[in-house]
Chains A and B, each alone.
Chain A
Amino acid sequence: MRTLKDLFAVRTRELPSPVASGSPAVEAAGLSVRLGQRQVLDSVDLTAHAGEVVALVGPNGAGKSTLLAALAADLTPGSGEVRIDGRPATAWSAPELALRRSVLPQAAVLSFPFPVEDVVRMGRAPWAGTEREDEDDAAVAAAMAATEVTRFAARPFSALSGGEKARVALARVLAQRAPLMLLDEPTAALDLRHQELVLRICRERAAAGDAVVVVLHDLGLAAAYADRAAVLHDGRIAELGPPDEVFSGELLGEVYRQPVEVFPHPRTGTPLIVPVRQN
């Protein structure tokens, strides 16, 4: 059966080989991007390694989503380079890239009312015709269970609430089982419980050896779950490092133009970030 399938495979794709924990999954070097007249990214260097969660934080318009899109090889940088799995992103074909990185877009849209399970199964499309196709059912079931969407597997996607749609979109990304996950604001539409759930999933993926880059607005979540955080400011990385070192009241106050207080959680010691409020 296998040989038959190989015979009819239109083109052989190079499957990703397992990577050692700590080796770079995606590297951006001297990345600059202009959109129209605006310099959205200005010589950004960032590496995400296998086994870590990197959070991208910063105010609106700082370039977080653009950086994520560049890491996903969605846009060609004006200068600089993105390397995925050790090779320049432009050297991979679209099908090969799909085996190496999965991307969660900011808004989950769908033109036709596919049932939820079919949407999640779309995440398996890159593996069609490879030996890992056999994982399809298990990967879909696991992704739906992890994001707690199994209960509405048969419902049409269009009938879901915003938060449910976001979780289904995440399940699709998880089902793809790519060694690099790029998530653009996965928690934006979610309630408290599911925000925590999503970040726990990120940690699990990292523990399993994947690299996770996640754009977050909630600094508390970033502080609690990320191994490293990159604070973006006007298209540059203002600071990059472990959250408890990077998140200082001074830096965040300047970047967000809003005074904040940072203090350790009394029990866990994780930094808590609270805006300074007058009352």
Chain B
Amino acid sequence: MTTSYEERTGSVEKSPDGPVAKAAPKSSRSTAYLLTATLSLALLAGCLLSAAIGAYNIPLGDVLSSVQHRIGLGGQELDRVGESVLWNVRLPRVALALLVGASLGCAGALMQGVFGNPLAEPGVIGISAGAAVGAVAAIALGLTFFGNWTITVFAFIAGLITVLLVYTLSRSGGRTEVVTLILTGIAVNAFAGALIGLFIFFADNAQITQITFWQLGSLSQATWPKVLAVLPCALAGLLIAPFYSRKLDLLALGERPARHLGVDVERLRIVLVLVVALLTAAAVAVAGIISFVGLLVPHLLRMANGPGHRFLVPGSALGGALVLVAGDLAARTVAAPAELPLGVLTALFGSPFFFWLLRRTRRKQGGWA
């Protein structure tokens, strides 16, 4: 017990500390507004830069003018090459980066809330790998019965099964311990890796190339049909998620206390597990395994603005989108004309962050329970 003498005598309690208490939520709210505004502006700038920069440079002014032209607000068309590069190559890619990033960031924040565990992330605990098994199966077996949506649908089903599996395996007594969760993740990742290996073993050469590139995590194959293929999943997930923010806050108290405060915990869990599967499937289906975004973004936002989910959930979507747009721009330009796989890049920066996080938590609270 570290209660001080002052505290026990209680004389301090009478000091007029009301204003401090009142000021806390207000200042946190203005931080939230500031962060939202900053993130939005940075995201807009990132999108514009990403649309402008590349092997064929398009001046920013031309990008704006072409967009204006298309939505019927004046401006003017570019030359044929420019118009084609911008609208058939760059913009679908930007749109895809936005969707994938927002999905990953949001899925990370939701998972951490549902598991009550700051290390839950689709990549770390194997959900992405699980969804990848579905996607690889669709490619390797040459399945097409849902048309454009085949890979997404398979990724969703496999992702959903994996979330449910991890959830039931890693919980005991209404809690998820970090060690159990991480070990479950290791097992799931290993098993998913084996299944993917099997599918690759049975695939032909063309399919293997397709799978390998897709697995490294990349947005280089972006087209409008691909954007459309993930849009329903990602949008549904992103729109549903914010409605559960307040309940996620309560869930931080534990399952029983949340129920005592009127949360239908079973329903909340089922809905959110579905949403996480939707979001992860959307991201994995088009971009392969891009890890650490769902870990890094919510953590940084929690440090900046506290753990309240009303900002964290939409904020993580915004932040995730920013990270991926910027990451994809870097992946395309750093080693130009070659292109780095995006998943490699995020892991390159994400892993040290993960390590730093472990060290920091160990120092501050003696590790995770």
Binding site for B on A (CB under 8 A): 72, 74, 93-99, 101-103, 105, 109-115, 117-119, 121-123, 125-126, 128, 141, 144-145, 148, 150-151, 153-154, 158, 161-164, 172, 176, 189, 191, 193
B25–A118 contact, CB under 8 A? yes
CA distance A74 to B261 in the complex (A): 12
Q: Which residue of B lies closest to A96 (CB)?
A: B262
B116–A94 contact, CB under 8 A? no
Chain A contacts for B265, CB-based, 8 A: 94
Is there a chain A Cβ closer than 8 Å to B74's Cβ? no
A102–B260 contact, CB under 8 A? yes
A193–B10 contact, CB under 8 A? yes
A113–B307 contact, CB under 8 A? yes
Residue from the list B24, B249, B256 in contact with A154, Cβ < 8 A:
B24
Contacts A74-B259, A94-B262, A123-B261 given; indicate if A150 touches B17 (C-beta within 8 A): yes
Residue from the list B3, B10, B12, B21 in contact with A153, Cβ < 8 A:
B21
Q: Which residue of A lies closest to B13 (CB)?
A: A148
A151–B17 contact, CB under 8 A? yes
Q: Which residue of B lies closest to A111 (CB)?
A: B116
Q: Which residue of A lies closest to B257 (CB)?
A: A105
B256–A164 contact, CB under 8 A? no
Chain B contacts for A162, CB-based, 8 A: 1
B262–A112 contact, CB under 8 A? no
Is there a chain A Cβ closer than 8 Å to B263's Cβ? yes
CA distance A154 to B19 in the complex (A): 11
Chain B contacts for A145, CB-based, 8 A: 13
Chain A contacts for B264, CB-based, 8 A: 93-95
B308–A109 contact, CB under 8 A? no
| Contacts of B248-300 to chain A: CB distance below 8 A | 249-254, 256-257, 259-265
Is there a chain A Cβ closer than 8 Å to B205's Cβ? no
Is there a chain A Cβ closer than 8 Å to B226's Cβ? no
Chain A contacts for B2, CB-based, 8 A: 161
Residue from the list A94, A103, A128 in contact with B246, Cβ < 8 A:
A128
Residue from the list A74, A112, A189 in contact with B307, Cβ < 8 A:
A112
A-B contact pairs, 15 of them (CB 8 A): A94-B265, A98-B260, A98-B261, A103-B257, A105-B256, A105-B257, A110-B252, A110-B253, A111-B116, A111-B254, A118-B25, A118-B249, A123-B261, A154-B24, A164-B3
Chain A contacts for B260, CB-based, 8 A: 72, 97-98, 101-103
B306–A114 contact, CB under 8 A? yes
Chain A contacts for B18, CB-based, 8 A: 141, 150
Chain A contacts for B28, CB-based, 8 A: 115
CA distance A191 to B2 in the complex (A): 11
Top 3 nearest A-B pairs (CB, nearest first) are A98-B262, A112-B307, A111-B116
Is there a chain A Cβ closer than 8 Å to B118's Cβ? yes
B365–A125 contact, CB under 8 A? no
CA distance A72 to B256 in the complex (A): 10
Chain B contacts for A163, CB-based, 8 A: 1, 3
CA distance A148 to B24 in the complex (A): 17
Known: A112-B252, A115-B24, A125-B262. 18 other contacts (CB 8 A): A94-B263, A98-B261, A109-B254, A111-B117, A111-B252, A112-B118, A114-B306, A117-B25, A118-B308, A125-B250, A125-B263, A148-B13, A150-B13, A153-B24, A154-B20, A162-B1, A189-B1, A193-B10
CA distance A74 to B265 in the complex (A): 12
A153–B20 contact, CB under 8 A? yes
Is there a chain A Cβ closer than 8 Å to B8's Cβ? yes
